Amino acid sequence: MEPVNSAYFFIMLLACSVAILLYRYTITLKRFLNDFVKISKKVSNKEFHSRLETSARGELGKLSRNFNFMMETMANTIEEVEYKHLQLTSVLKSISHGILVLDIDGNIILINDEARKIIKSKCIGNEEGKNIRQVIDFKEILREIEKYIGSKENDSYSLKLEDETVYKLKIDPVYLQNSKNAIIGSIINIENITEIVKLENMRKDFVANVSHELKTPLTSINGFVETLIMNEDLEVSKRNRFLAIIQKESNRLKRLIEDILLLSSIENKDNLVTENIALYNVLKEVYEIVGYIACSKNIELDYCFEDENIKIQANGDYIKQLFLNLIDNAIKYTPEGGKVVVNQFVKNDEIIIEVIDNGVGIPKEDQNKIFQRFYRVDKARSRSVGGTGLGLAITKHIVNSLKGSICVESELGKGSKFIVTIPTKIS
Ligand code: ADP
């Protein structure tokens, strides 16, 4: 072969080899790019666990491995963020108060279900990112929250509505990390404190009532003791009359203190020992105690027990107190010659006890108030018959502790019927 021809042949061979190599490289590159497009599409569809084929040699293999490593790191980070978010939403959901987190423009960053309910959200489930004015339908709360947007101070406010519902709003500013000046929003904690306020008012009323009730007999005792001390030569009849008053008032004090202690022990369920109690036996014991009072007023005391063997799981002293309070009241508020009857029967799996009298009766407007502590229809009458105003409150607490209920039917001047309903099976 001539030298020119062999050079030409060599160049052709080289060109063919380069062309083949280029062709193969182009095919590999195209396959890689196709793969890359497919995987990136999957990633944009949040399939963060998709990976590139890493068998390619050289730079493409390196690029695939780096890409896969980057994807793995990203998938882990996203998983962590999602887990943290899940934790945060679970915590928020479990908080029994309403929690609302706002930015300094009043846009909602976070909100929990309780807050949604309280603020009467106009877009349940889609509040985040929206402004409170678009979301909150509860005008009074919106007005309050608007005052605190961007506030640097911790604050709290009680909002009392016309229907007696009371909300407590507690506002805490959210500071940018490590900065005591840059506020990025506020956390608003909304709590329905209606029950707490009611209980607190009841406690205040109770303390005021107890003090008043204790003060009255004490003042009287004090006055008569002073008179006796200052007048040593007082006539015997007067002295005896004063001593009788002192005795009566100190008995009243004793009864009051006993009733207050009993009420508090029922409320706190102190030493509550229960046993299987035969109601009929308790009634007979109570009749022995009150029998002589009824007799002295010539009141006929009767009973009609459907089942004399009926028993309930309860505290014996409480059941005795329940019968005693109702029957004692029936005798106290029935004039001489009247009649008091106790009925017992079972209806719809419930034990019914009725205490019926034909006494003075209770006006309609007082009928649901008489179960309140210290409420008396006629204060003077109650005092004169030795009442403390706590008997029915104690009875109601006892009935409640048995998961039962008590009500009264009464007509002024004709008599009253107290109806106690107790489930036959007390859980
Ligand atoms: P009290 O110690 O004054 O009797 P209670 O709590 O037992 O207190 O009763 C509250 C009020 O309910 C009484 O003061 C009385 O006015 C009224 N009351 C209770 N039982 C009767 C009844 N059987 N008949 C008429 N009034 C009653």
pLDDT at 270: 64
Of 120-129, 143-152, 272-281, 289-298, which gets the smallest average pLDDT?
A: 143-152
362 lines ligand 1 (CB under 6 A): yes
Condensed to tens digits (0 to 9), the pLDDT of residues 216-273 reads 899 999 999 999 999 988 899 999 999 999 999 999 999 999 999 999 888 887 667 8
Q: How confident is the model over 65-91, as a mean pLDDT?
A: 89
How sure is the predictor about 215, in pLDDT bands with cuts at 50, 70 and 90?
Answer: very high
What is the third-level CATH fold of 195-270? Helix Hairpins (1.10.287)
Closest-CA residue, ligand 1 atom 25, reads 361
Residue with tokens 């980070």: 77
Q: Determine the atom of ligand 1 nearest the C-alpha atom of 376.
A: 14
339-347 and 300-305 beta bridge pairing:
parallel
263 lines ligand 1 (CB under 6 A): no
3-state SS class at 171: strand
Mean pLDDT (the chain) is 90
Condensed to tens digits (0 to 9), the pLDDT of residues 170-193 reads 999 988 877 777 888 999 999 999
d(CA 410, CA 358): 9
Condensed to tens digits (0 to 9), the pLDDT of residues 270-307 reads 667 889 999 999 999 999 999 999 999 999 999 999 99
3-state SS class at 375: coil
Closest-CA residue, ligand 1 atom 18, reads 329
pLDDT at 394: 95
- pLDDT score of 55 more than 80: no
pLDDT at 379: 83
Closest-CA residue, ligand 1 atom 2, reads 387
CA distances, 191 to each of 40, 144, 185, 297 (Å): 48, 14, 20, 55
Q: How confident is the model over 90-109, as a mean pLDDT?
A: 90
For the stretch 135-139, contacts whose Cβ atoms lie closer than 8 Å and that sit 24 or more positions apart, written own/partner, are: 135/108
Q: How confident is the model over 166-170, as a mean pLDDT?
A: 94
- Higher pLDDT: 379 or 136? It is 136
Residue 405's H or E segment, with its range, is: strand 405-411
For the stretch 208-214, contacts whose Cβ atoms lie closer than 8 Å and that sit 24 or more positions apart, written own/partner, are: 209/373, 209/374, 210/260, 213/256, 213/374, 213/388, 213/389, 214/253, 214/256, 214/257
CA of 387 to the centre of ligand 1 (A): 8
Q: Determine the atom of ligand 1 nearest the C-alpha atom of 390.
A: 6
382 lines ligand 1 (CB under 6 A): yes
What is the third-level CATH fold of 272-427? Heat Shock Protein 90 (3.30.565)
- pLDDT score of 1 more than 60: no
pLDDT at 271: 66
389 lines ligand 1 (CB under 6 A): yes
Condensed to tens digits (0 to 9), the pLDDT of residues 306-318 reads 999 999 999 999 9
CA of 414 to the centre of ligand 1 (A): 15
- pLDDT score of 426 more than 70: no
pLDDT at 249: 93
392 lines ligand 1 (CB under 6 A): yes
Q: Which amino acid belongs to residue 276?
A: N
- pLDDT score of 66 more than 70: yes
Read off the tokens for 194. Answer: 């209606």
57 phi and psi, to 5 degrees?
Answer: -90, 165
| Boundaries of every domain in the chain | 2-90, 95-192, 195-270, 272-427
Q: How confident is the model over 29-37, as a mean pLDDT?
A: 87
Condensed to tens digits (0 to 9), the pLDDT of residues 360-400 reads 999 999 999 999 999 999 888 787 887 889 999 999 999 99
- pLDDT score of 427 more than 70: no
376 lines ligand 1 (CB under 6 A): yes
Q: In this structure, how many other beta carbons lie within 10 angstroms of the beta carbon of residue 325?
A: 22
359 lines ligand 1 (CB under 6 A): yes
The CATH homologous superfamily for domain 95-192 is PAS domain (3.30.450.20)
Contact 249, 280 (CB under 8 A): no
Condensed to tens digits (0 to 9), the pLDDT of residues 327-363 reads 999 999 999 999 999 999 999 889 999 999 999 999 9
Q: Determine the atom of ligand 1 nearest the C-alpha atom of 387.
A: 2
